[in-house]
Amino acid sequence: MYAGKLSTPLTIVVSRLELPLTLAHIIGDVKGTVLHDSTLMGHLDTITAYTMSSFKNPLAAILDSNKFTGLNYQDWLRNLNFVLASEKHLYAIEKSPPKEAPADISPEELVTLKQWWDDEVKARCYVMASMSNEMQRLLVPVF
């Protein structure tokens, strides 16, 4: 799957969400539509804050000792799914939330939608933080 330099784009499949190894493609929906959106860009500092040792979930230690290197995809994905499921964030990468709240949304639905947006960012941060530094550099350009 990954050996040294990438000659063709590598796609990471997390649940039903495909994450090609470019930052622009990390932000996409289940169908693979690429969104040129700043949703994740505004939270990239959160990725750093989500170091594995600071996770409240003891299962997150699995990700710290089994970071995605490109060669361990199946093991990494299985472990990532365990952690996301235990945090109740797996749904956030299985189906993308609407980009905008509908005009006729109720206050209760808006709270739920905002939680979905927050959970999606957290799930994406888990994905990024569970990768080796080398893999992160392939996804996140130098700032």
For the chain (length 143 residues), average pLDDT per consecutive 10? 37 48 34 36 42 59 89 94 91 80 86 88 90 88 45
Q: What is the pLDDT of residue 41?
A: 43
If DSSP codes are grouped into helix, strand and coil, which group holds residue 13? strand
Question: Are β-strands 17-20 and 11-14 bridged in parallel, bridged antiparallel, or unpaired?
Answer: antiparallel
Q: What is the pLDDT of residue 13?
A: 52
Phi-psi region of 32 (alpha: psi -120 to 50; beta: other; left: phi over 0): left
Nearest to 50 by CA among 26, 84, 82: 84
Q: What is the pLDDT of residue 80?
A: 94
Nearest to 2 by CA among 62, 71, 48, 50: 71
pTM over 0.85: no
